[in-house]
Amino acid sequence: MIEAVGLTKSYGDKTAVYQLSFQVRPGVVTGFLGPNGSGKSTTMRMTVGLDEPTAGTVTVNGLPYRRLPNAARQVGALLDAKAVHGGRSAREHLLCLAQLSGVPSSRVDEVIDVVGLGEVAHKRSKGFSLGMGQRLGIAGALLGDPPVLLFDEPVNGLDPEGILWIRNLMKQLASEGRTVLVSSHLMSEMALTADHLIVIGRGQLLADMSVKDFIAHNSQGYARVRVPEDRPDDPEKLRTALARAGGQLLPEEDGGFRVTGLALPQISDLAHEADVRLWELSPHHASLEEAYMQMTQGAVDYRATVDTRSSLQPLPQGMPGQGHAPQGHAPQGHGYPAGPGHPAPGAQGYPQQGYAPQPMPQQPGTGYGTPAPGGHPPQQQPWPGGAPGTQPYAAPTPGAPTSDSEAAR
């Protein structure tokens, strides 16, 4: 059990973690999510006593890490896979750690086999690939057979086989009754691995709930509907019928429609009454990624902007920013892009855009709204006078077609 109470960490006048309180319970895999720079690593470092909190406490099984008797046997952590002296072999590195915590050297060979580094155990770790380094780091965490485990981005650099292995390992460790805290950026991976989520943004707690609840709370499911193409009046008829019942019909890229605000059987009934045949009526379940994006949009520190390529090459006419550049559409309503011009079939739009600039839909209650132009600090703002969210690494190019976030303001 890991417990944080009012955990705060400041570096000078920059606050990395602010008033963070949560519990990580044994028996389940807890996912630790947040955008880059949101304080995940800082929190984990404080948990294992590397950083001293500015205020508040974080305890493992009731004791601060530095006061735990033989801490290495109680907590295993993968914080930085490359935290290895390159001149030492994998086995020697693990042996150092094993001796530190009083683990017999036979255990070293055991964990080497567990993580699949048997063949390179005597090679100097300098030549290890990212994935091999990751495995070595995981071996180090497992060494003391600890009841509490922390993994910071464990799947970084692993191949698909390795990712699957990690996923099963986490689940197995949790099923043995251990406390497992895993941070990651890979939402699809988290959706498969984690049972519980702790989401932070800008160092503050955004959510602490089960994966299922998280998705339900932070995204809106909808129905996909398709009507026969040879009957041009049908969409209008359906729209009217649905609108009367309080639903909304929005066109999609591929000619289909999305219906929000109504349950599937109701849509079917209304269509039937309006004499509209449906070729498709399917539920759309929001993914963890969508829910996560929805929640953290206002809390992203580092955003990409459109690469204008400084006129290095003439942009072909009629292809405004294809490829990885986000489109200039402005999503309406609850943040789902609608209307023509949206490039992605399926209309999720998120995978293509990644961390690209988007207007930030107001999340009531989270306190992470769009930083208002004119410098009104968002509510609950721990940084006095600062203007967070102003894309510190995205220098606006004068005269460049500015991103849609500007356009939306």
Partner 1 sequence: MAHLTRVLKSEWTKVTTVRSTLWTLVLAFFLTVSIGIAFSALLKNLSNEERGGPLDPTYVSFSGMSMGQLAMVAFGVLVVSGEYSTGMIRASLGAVPQRGVFMAAKLVACTALALLVGMVTSVATFFGSQLVLGEEKASITDDGVLRAVVCGGLYMTLMALFSMGVTWMLRSPLLAFSILMPFFFIVSGILGVVEATRKIAQFLPDQAGMTMLAVNDLTDFDRAYGPGGALLIMLAWVAAALIGGYVMLKRRDA
Q: Which stretches of the chain bind partner 1, using CB under 8 A?
A: 45, 48-52, 65-68, 70-72, 75, 77, 79-80, 82-89, 92, 95-102, 140
Q: How far is the CB of 260 from partner 1 (least distance, A)?
A: 48
What does the alpha-carbon distance between residue 234 and residue 275 come to, in Å, rounded to a whole number?
8
Q: How far is the CB of 220 from partner 1 (least distance, A)?
A: 42
- Residue placing its CB nearer to partner 1 in the complex, 89 or 266: 89
Q: How far is the CB of 26 from partner 1 (least distance, A)?
A: 20
In 10 A of CB 129, how many CB atoms?
A: 12
Q: Is 232 helix (H, G, I), strand (E, B) or coil?
A: coil
- Residue placing its CB nearer to partner 1 in the complex, 83 or 263: 83
- Residue placing its CB nearer to partner 1 in the complex, 180 or 227: 180
Burial 233-260 (b: 16+ CB within 10 A, else e): ebbeebbebbeeeebbbbbbbeebbbbb
Q: How far is the CB of 120 from partner 1 (least distance, A)?
A: 16
Q: Residues 278, 227: contact at Cβ < 8 Å? A: yes
Only one residue has tokens 């519990």, namely 23
Around 342, how many Cα atoms within 13 Å sit in the side-chain half-sphere? 24
What does the alpha-carbon distance between residue 368 and residue 360 come to, in Å, rounded to a whole number?
9
- Residue placing its CB nearer to partner 1 in the complex, 86 or 255: 86
Q: How far is the CB of 71 from partner 1 (least distance, A)?
A: 5
- Nearest in space to 363 (alpha carbons), one of 352, 378, 353: 378
Q: How far is the CB of 78 from partner 1 (least distance, A)?
A: 10
- Residue placing its CB nearer to partner 1 in the complex, 140 or 162: 140
The helix or strand, by DSSP H or E, that contains position 393, with its residue range, turns out to be: none
- Residue placing its CB nearer to partner 1 in the complex, 72 or 206: 72
Give CA 311 to chain center in angstroms.
34
What does the alpha-carbon distance between residue 113 and residue 131 come to, in Å, rounded to a whole number?
15
Q: How far is the CB of 33 from partner 1 (least distance, A)?
A: 22
Which tokens belong to 320? 């405004």
- Residue placing its CB nearer to partner 1 in the complex, 70 or 175: 70
What does the alpha-carbon distance between residue 59 and residue 46 come to, in Å, rounded to a whole number?
9
What does the alpha-carbon distance between residue 91 and residue 362 come to, in Å, rounded to a whole number?
51
Q: Residues 185, 153: contact at Cβ < 8 Å? A: yes
Q: How far is the CB of 392 from partner 1 (least distance, A)?
A: 23
- Residue placing its CB nearer to partner 1 in the complex, 31 or 140: 140
Q: How far is the CB of 8 from partner 1 (least distance, A)?
A: 14
Which tokens belong to 139? 């071996």
Q: How far is the CB of 67 from partner 1 (least distance, A)?
A: 8
Which tokens belong to 12? 């000078």
Could you write out the three-class secondary structure of 60-72? Answer: ECCEEHHHCCCHH
Q: How far is the CB of 45 from partner 1 (least distance, A)?
A: 7
- Residue placing its CB nearer to partner 1 in the complex, 50 or 216: 50
Q: Residues 155, 184: contact at Cβ < 8 Å? A: yes
- Residue placing its CB nearer to partner 1 in the complex, 156 or 287: 156
- Nearest in space to 234 (alpha carbons), one of 226, 222, 243, 246: 226
What does the alpha-carbon distance between residue 349 and residue 338 come to, in Å, rounded to a whole number?
10
Which tokens belong to 37? 């720079």
69 Cβ partners below 8 Å, 6+ apart?
A: none
- Residue placing its CB nearer to partner 1 in the complex, 82 or 244: 82
Give CA 354 to chain center in angstroms.
11
